[in-house]
Amino acid sequence: MNHFQRRDGELFAEEVPLAALAAAHGTPLYVYSTATLTRHWKVLEGSLRGLRHLTCYAVKANSSLAVLSLLARLGAGFDIVSGGELYRVRKAGGDPRKVVFSGVGKRDDEVAFALEAGVRVLDVESAEELARVSIVARRLGKRAPVALRVNPDVDPRTHPYISTGLKGNKFGVPVEEALRLYALAARDRALRIRGVAMHIGSQVTELAPFLDAIARMRGLVDELRRQGIAVGHLDIGGGLGIPYEESEEPPHPDAYGAAVKKALRGFGGEVLLEPGRLLVGNAGVLVTRVLYRKRNGRKRFVVVDAGMNDLVRPAMYGAFHAIEPVGPPAAAEITCDVVGPICESGDFLARGRRLPEPEAGDLLCVRSAGAYGFAMSSQYNARPRAAEVLVDRDRVLLARRREAYPDLVRGESARPRPRRFGPRRGLR
């Protein structure tokens, strides 16, 4: 259920017509719905009632301050993968004590930033990282709260680029190695073991892979406890999929919650979750304007003003995003590719799509763009990035102004004669 619905033929975001938003803020425009996001949060939390848990929203899905701040107010913790994401969480008023720091490649400065900020736990992904975290903690006179991200070796049956819990993926450590590393960590005074973590992949549309992985993690937790290692929490990651097409029916959060609760019965610790897409995916749309229609040979194209730099998912994963007119749909339908202005044939939002025939100047709504939409956008082809607005009933927050040309060159230098590079001068 989302709050992007039609009224008298016109698409609205809550109580505001998308066309009015496009008129006020231009296109391409990301539009988020407070009611939808809040509802997704409440449905998930409701499904977990009775389970001692902390839901740590995966910031990477949508790291806009307005979204983070809304989630912070709802009581969310945060799953971060960089110092930059921690910076954003703090800017948005998030509580560092509810922050989980994941990721395979943390730099020393990021580890130090996280320790100084007092994050709840660092999810460590290799023996070498564990050693570095210990060194950085000692240098700061702190004890680093750690969990090991364990690779459960289950197949989440999703797109290969976003499956992470298989042996051949770069993520996590194998169960056997985890046992050895926990023993090491337990003897290290600069480390404090907090729990065990896993994450199997994203856009997972079945429950079985989650349950298999949780069962494997429980085996590990039991073994660790037998060895006298206290495991305070189990982080089961994120990854629950959302419906991108009407025909898709990933498990409802209620089914997920019930299954998770059952799989964790008797665990006796806190459960951490890291959902991203589930919370924000269908709470956002991308509004774009039709520039031209054209035909090449047999093929029909609708050229719009949003490109792969604005929404890369179709180009990168062959992902499907529903597209529909913002205004009343025309009666005639066409089959077309919806493409952007970027100079690459991979720059498409949809291929071979049936659409009510649009005209130049019409607005189209690209659905399910709240997760990994703006967050993955770039300035490729020197295109200023889109604006973002957050709607709350009849109120509209300009969450991020549209970039202008000067934003494209901020921080750049083209000095014809650079300064001499020397030890004291450094790189200028």
Judged by CB under 6 A, the residue of 25, 53, 106, 199 near ligand LLP is 199
What does the chain come to in residues? 428
> CA-CA distances (angstroms) from residue 214 to 37, 45, 164, 258?
27, 19, 15, 14
CB of 79 to ligand LLP, least distance (A): 5
Q: Quick check: 79 binds ligand LLP (CB under 6 A)?
A: yes
Tracing tokens 């062959």 back to the chain, one arrives at 318
Stretch that binds ligand LLP, among 181-189, 199-207, 297-305, 359-367 (CB under 6 A): 199-207
SS3 content of the chain, % helix, strand, coil (to 5): 30, 25, 40
Judged by CB under 6 A, the residue of 28, 209, 251, 275 near ligand LLP is 275
Judged by CB under 6 A, the residue of 40, 277, 383, 385 near ligand LLP is 277
Q: Quick check: 327 binds ligand LLP (CB under 6 A)?
A: no
Task: Assess contact for 116 and 97: CB atoms under 8 A.
Answer: no
CB of 123 to ligand LLP, least distance (A): 7
Nearer to ligand LLP, 38 or 62 (CB): 62
Task: Assess contact for 400 and 360: CB atoms under 8 A.
Answer: no
In the set 56, 336, 343, 365, the catalytic residue is 343
What residues have CB less than 8 Å from 361, skipping those under 6 apart?
A: 289, 290
Judged by CB under 6 A, the residue of 313, 321, 353, 385 near ligand LLP is 313
Residues 147-166 that bind ligand LLP (CB under 6 A): 162, 164
- 365 belongs to the catalytic site: no
Judged by CB under 6 A, the residue of 16, 22, 61, 200 near ligand LLP is 61
Stretch that binds ligand LLP, among 82-90, 129-137, 235-243, 418-426 (CB under 6 A): 235-243
Nearer to ligand LLP, 36 or 164 (CB): 164
Helix (H, G, I), strand (E, B) or coil at 109: helix
CB of 299 to ligand LLP, least distance (A): 27
Q: In the structure encoding, which two tokens stand for residue 166, read together?
A: 């298989």
Any alpha helices (H) in 277-350, and if so which ranges?
277-280, 313-317
Nearer to ligand LLP, 63 or 362 (CB): 63
CB of 409 to ligand LLP, least distance (A): 28
Please name every residue paired with 136 in a beta bridge, in sequence order, or none if there are none. Answer: none
Nearer to ligand LLP, 164 or 362 (CB): 164
Other CB atoms closer than 10 Å to residue 343's CB: what's the count? 9
Other CB atoms closer than 10 Å to residue 319's CB: what's the count? 18
What residues have CB less than 8 Å from 323, skipping those under 6 apart?
A: 338, 349, 350, 353, 355, 364, 365, 366, 367
Stretch that binds ligand LLP, among 213-221, 268-276, 397-405, 413-421 (CB under 6 A): 268-276
Q: Quick check: 272 binds ligand LLP (CB under 6 A)?
A: no
Q: Quick check: 257 binds ligand LLP (CB under 6 A)?
A: no
Instruction: Tell me how many residues contact ligand LLP (CB under 6 A).
Output: 21
Q: Contact letters (x/-) for ligand LLP, 337-376, by CB under 6 A?
A: ----------------------------------xx----
Q: Quick check: 276 binds ligand LLP (CB under 6 A)?
A: yes
Q: Quick check: 278 binds ligand LLP (CB under 6 A)?
A: yes
What residues have CB less than 8 Å from 201, skipping those under 6 apart?
A: 156, 158, 162, 163, 164, 165, 209, 239
CB of 362 to ligand LLP, least distance (A): 27
Buried b (16+ CB within 10 A) or exposed e, 193-210: bbbbbbbbbbbbbebebb
Q: Which of 271, 169, 154 is nearest to 221 (CA)?
A: 271
Judged by CB under 6 A, the residue of 202, 288, 368, 377 near ligand LLP is 202
Alpha-carbon gap, residue 70 to 74, rounded angstroms = 6
Nearer to ligand LLP, 74 or 291 (CB): 74
Nearer to ligand LLP, 371 or 387 (CB): 371
Q: Are strands 333-339 and 348-356 parallel, antiparallel or unpaired?
A: antiparallel
Stretch that binds ligand LLP, among 70-78, 134-142, 234-242, 404-412 (CB under 6 A): 234-242
> CA-CA distances (angstroms) from residue 21 to 14, 34, 288?
12, 15, 11
CB of 373 to ligand LLP, least distance (A): 8
Q: In the structure encoding, which two tokens stand for residue 199, read together?
A: 């994450």
Which stretches of the chain bind ligand LLP, using CB under 6 A? Answer: 58, 61, 79, 102, 162, 164, 199, 202-203, 237-239, 274-278, 313, 317, 371-372
User: What residues act catalytically?
Assistant: 343
